[in-house]
Amino acid sequence: MKIRAGFHIEYECQNETPMLLVLKVHPSRERDLCSEQTLSFNRMIPQRDYLDAYGNACSRIMAPAGRMAISAQFDVSDSGLAEFLPEQAVQLPIQDLPDDVLVFLLGSRYCDTDRLADFAWKQFSATPLGWPRVKAILDFVHGHLVFDYDRADPTRTAHGGFIDRTGVCRDFAHLTITLCRCLNIPARYCTGYLGDIGVPRDPHPMDFSAWCEVYLGGRWWTVDARHNVPRIGRILMARGRDATDVALSTAFGPATLTHFEVVTEEVD
Amino acid sequence: MKIRAGFHIEYECQNETPMLLVLKVHPSRERDLCSEQTLSFNRMIPQRDYLDAYGNACSRIMAPAGRMAISAQFDVSDSGLAEFLPEQAVQLPIQDLPDDVLVFLLGSRYCDTDRLADFAWKQFSATPLGWPRVKAILDFVHGHLVFDYDRADPTRTAHGGFIDRTGVCRDFAHLTITLCRCLNIPARYCTGYLGDIGVPRDPHPMDFSAWCEVYLGGRWWTVDARHNVPRIGRILMARGRDATDVALSTAFGPATLTHFEVVTEEVD
Amino acid sequence: MKIRAGFHIEYECQNETPMLLVLKVHPSRERDLCSEQTLSFNRMIPQRDYLDAYGNACSRIMAPAGRMAISAQFDVSDSGLAEFLPEQAVQLPIQDLPDDVLVFLLGSRYCDTDRLADFAWKQFSATPLGWPRVKAILDFVHGHLVFDYDRADPTRTAHGGFIDRTGVCRDFAHLTITLCRCLNIPARYCTGYLGDIGVPRDPHPMDFSAWCEVYLGGRWWTVDARHNVPRIGRILMARGRDATDVALSTAFGPATLTHFEVVTEEVD
Amino acid sequence: MKIRAGFHIEYECQNETPMLLVLKVHPSRERDLCSEQTLSFNRMIPQRDYLDAYGNACSRIMAPAGRMAISAQFDVSDSGLAEFLPEQAVQLPIQDLPDDVLVFLLGSRYCDTDRLADFAWKQFSATPLGWPRVKAILDFVHGHLVFDYDRADPTRTAHGGFIDRTGVCRDFAHLTITLCRCLNIPARYCTGYLGDIGVPRDPHPMDFSAWCEVYLGGRWWTVDARHNVPRIGRILMARGRDATDVALSTAFGPATLTHFEVVTEEVD
The reported pLDDT for the residue numbered D11 is 97
The reported pLDDT for the residue numbered A68 is 97
Asked if residue B85 belongs to a domain, the reply is no
The reported pLDDT for the residue numbered D47 is 92
pLDDT band at A205 (very low <50, low <70, confident <90, very high): confident
D102 with D156, same domain?
A: yes
pLDDT band at A203 (very low <50, low <70, confident <90, very high): confident
Among C49, C232, C239, the residue to mutate for chain A (most A Cβ within 10 A): C49
D49 with D164, same domain?
A: no
Q: Does D98 touch chain C (CB under 8 A)?
A: no
pLDDT digits (tens, 9 = 90+) for C61-118: 999 999 999 999 999 999 999 999 999 999 999 999 999 999 999 999 999 999 999 9
Asked if residue C210 belongs to a domain, the reply is yes
Amino acid identity of B150?
D
Asked if residue C33 belongs to a domain, the reply is yes
Q: Can you tell me the distance from the alpha carbon of D65 to that of D166, in angstroms, rounded to the nearest whole number?
A: 36
B125 with B239, same domain?
A: yes
Report whether pLDDT(C268) > 90: no
B109 with B211, same domain?
A: yes
Exposure class string for C39-66: b at 16+ Cβ within 10 A, else e = bebeeebebbbbbbebbbbbbbbbbbee
pTM: 0.95
Burial of residue D214, with CB atoms counted within 10 A of its CB: 0-12 exposed, 13-18 middle, 19 or more buried: buried
Q: Does A40 touch chain C (CB under 8 A)?
A: no
The DSSP bridge pattern shows strands B66-77 and B2-13 to be antiparallel
Domain that holds residue D125: 94-244
B145 with B239, same domain?
A: yes
C239 with C187, same domain?
A: yes
Q: Does C254 touch chain D (CB under 8 A)?
A: no
The reported pLDDT for the residue numbered B204 is 83
B139 with B173, same domain?
A: yes
The reported pLDDT for the residue numbered B215 is 97
- In eight-state DSSP terms, residue D264 is E
Q: Does D125 touch chain C (CB under 8 A)?
A: no
Asked if residue A166 belongs to a domain, the reply is yes
The dihedrals phi and psi of C57, each to the nearest 5 degrees, come to: -85, 105
The reported pLDDT for the residue numbered A268 is 78
Sequence-distant (6+) residues with CB within 8 A of D145 are D161, D165, D166, D167, D171, D172, D175, D225
Average pLDDT over residues A240-256: 95
CA distances (Å), D163 to each of D115, D116, D142, in order? Answer: 11, 11, 14
- Comparing alpha-carbon positions, the chain D residue that sits nearest to B215 is D36
pLDDT digits (tens, 9 = 90+) for C82-94: 999 999 999 999 9
Q: How far is C95 from chain D (nearest CA, A)?
A: 6
- Asked if C167 contacts C148 with a C-beta cutoff of 8 angstroms, the reply is yes
The residue ranges of chain D whose pLDDT is under 50 are none
pLDDT band at C35 (very low <50, low <70, confident <90, very high): confident
Asked if residue A86 belongs to a domain, the reply is no
pLDDT digits (tens, 9 = 90+) for B7-19: 999 999 999 999 9
The reported pLDDT for the residue numbered C206 is 87
ipTM exceeding 0.85?
A: yes
pLDDT digits (tens, 9 = 90+) for A134-173: 999 999 999 999 999 899 999 999 999 999 999 999 999 9
Decide which of A176 and C88 is more confident. A176
Cβ contact A33–C219 (<8 Å): yes
Residues of chain A contacting residue D48, judged by C-beta atoms under 8 Å apart:
48
Q: Does A99 touch chain D (CB under 8 A)?
A: yes
Q: Can you tell me the distance from the alpha carbon of A23 to that of A3, in angstroms, rounded to the nearest whole number?
A: 17
* Domain at D130, CATH number: 3.10.620.30
B260 with B222, same domain?
A: no
Q: Can you tell me the distance from the alpha carbon of D155 to that of D157, in angstroms, rounded to the nearest whole number?
A: 6
Average pLDDT over residues B11-39: 95
Average pLDDT over residues B143-158: 94
- Asked if A26 contacts A239 with a C-beta cutoff of 8 angstroms, the reply is yes
Give chain A as a 3 state SS string: CEEEEEEEEEEEECCCEEEEECCCCCHHHHHHECCCCCCEECCCCCEEEEECCCCCEEEEEEECCEEEEEEEEEEEECCCCCCCCCCCCCCCCHHHCCHHHHHHHCCECCECHHHHHHHHHHHHCCCCCCHHHHHHHHHHHHHHCEECHHHCCCCCCHHHHHHHCEECHHHHHHHHHHHHHHCCCCEEEEEEECCCCCCCCCCCCCCCEEEEEEEECCEEEEECCCCCCCCCCCEEEEEECCHHHHCCEEECCCEEEEEEEEEEEEEC
Q: Does B131 touch chain D (CB under 8 A)?
A: no
pLDDT digits (tens, 9 = 90+) for B247-262: 999 999 999 999 999 9
A225 with A126, same domain?
A: yes
The reported pLDDT for the residue numbered D204 is 82
Report whether pLDDT(B268) > 80: no
The reported pLDDT for the residue numbered C186 is 98
Report whether pLDDT(B161) > 80: yes
C109 with C239, same domain?
A: yes
Mean pLDDT for all residues in chain C: 95
CB-hemisphere CA count at 13 Å for A253? 17
% of chain A surpassing 70 pLDDT: 100
C99 with C225, same domain?
A: yes
- Comparing alpha-carbon positions, the chain D residue that sits nearest to B59 is D98
Asked if residue C218 belongs to a domain, the reply is yes
The dihedrals phi and psi of A237, each to the nearest 5 degrees, come to: -105, -50
Asked if residue A89 belongs to a domain, the reply is no
Collapsed DSSP state (helix, strand, coil) of residue C71: strand
Q: For D244, which of C18, C107, C245 is closest by C-beta distance?
A: C107
Q: Work out how many domains chain B is built from and give that number.
A: 2
The reported pLDDT for the residue numbered A40 is 96
The reported pLDDT for the residue numbered A229 is 95
pLDDT band at A218 (very low <50, low <70, confident <90, very high): very high
Q: For C31, which of A2, A36, A222 is closest by C-beta distance?
A: A222
Decide which of B222 and B202 is more confident. B222
Asked if residue D67 belongs to a domain, the reply is yes
* Domain at B45, CATH number: 2.60.40.2250
pLDDT digits (tens, 9 = 90+) for C138-188: 999 999 999 998 999 999 999 999 999 999 999 999 999 999 999 999 999
D58 with D160, same domain?
A: no
The reported pLDDT for the residue numbered D202 is 85
